[in-house]
Amino acid sequence: MRKSIKRLGLLLAVVLGCVTAVTAVTAVTAAQGQVVQPPPNSPPVLRYLELRFPTQGNRGFHEPPVYLRQADTTNYLSIPGRLRYSLYTEAEPVILQDAERFWQSGQFESLWVDVTDSPFENGVVGKHVVFNFVERAETWVPTADYPTPPPEYRRPPSGYQRFYPPPEGQRRR
């Protein structure tokens, strides 16, 4: 029981030798070990935040908590035992701000954010947000307003929508 609760806060999943940081928003009831779901008919909620480093064998230069501490989006994730779910619409602007802040930090050659649905058993839509990073060996000041994902990552994976950077016609000037 204690193991399942510990796994929900910050879950490091080793899949095919790749470490991926996933922060889960699912809560567990202490008595039964069951996932507590948002009320039926709730609007979409933020369910997962995942960090990927696809061009680096899914291994960042730093441990996942280093990146997660820089992301305000983590404040919108639920904590096991605290039965509060954040609406995805409330988290969207924060996700964009995090992406822009990461880009402006000069640590990344490129980054992009993809989002997919991860529904709960009761049908409520949970959003799974994936930050994809391509890190730089040395920090630099970005000259472009938005990053350009590497060619093989310019299209989101099947079932995902690209959230950041915005499409060419929707960018701020």
13 within a domain of the structure (yes/no):
no
Does residue 60 lie within any of the structural domains?
yes
Assess if residue 41 is contained within a domain: yes
Range of the domain at 52: 21-27+37-166
- Sign of the CA dihedral running 69, 90, 118, 41: positive
Q: What does the pLDDT look like over 30-82, one tens digit per residue?
A: 344 566 788 899 999 999 999 999 999 999 998 989 899 999 999 998 665 56
Does 5 reside within a domain?
no
- What's the pLDDT score for residue 21? 42
Residue 172 lies in a domain: no
Residue with tokens 């609760």: 5
pTM, whole model, 2 decimals? 0.69
Number of domains in the chain: 1
Is residue 152 assigned to a domain? yes
Beta-carbon contacts of 70 under 8 Å, excluding residues fewer than 6 positions away, are 98, 101, 102, 105
16 within a domain of the structure (yes/no): no
Give the model's pLDDT for residue 83.
Answer: 73
Q: Which residues pair with 135 in a beta bridge?
A: 108
CA distance 100 to 103: 5
Residue 118 included in any domain: yes
pLDDT tens digit sequence for 138-164: 766 666 777 778 888 878 888 888 888
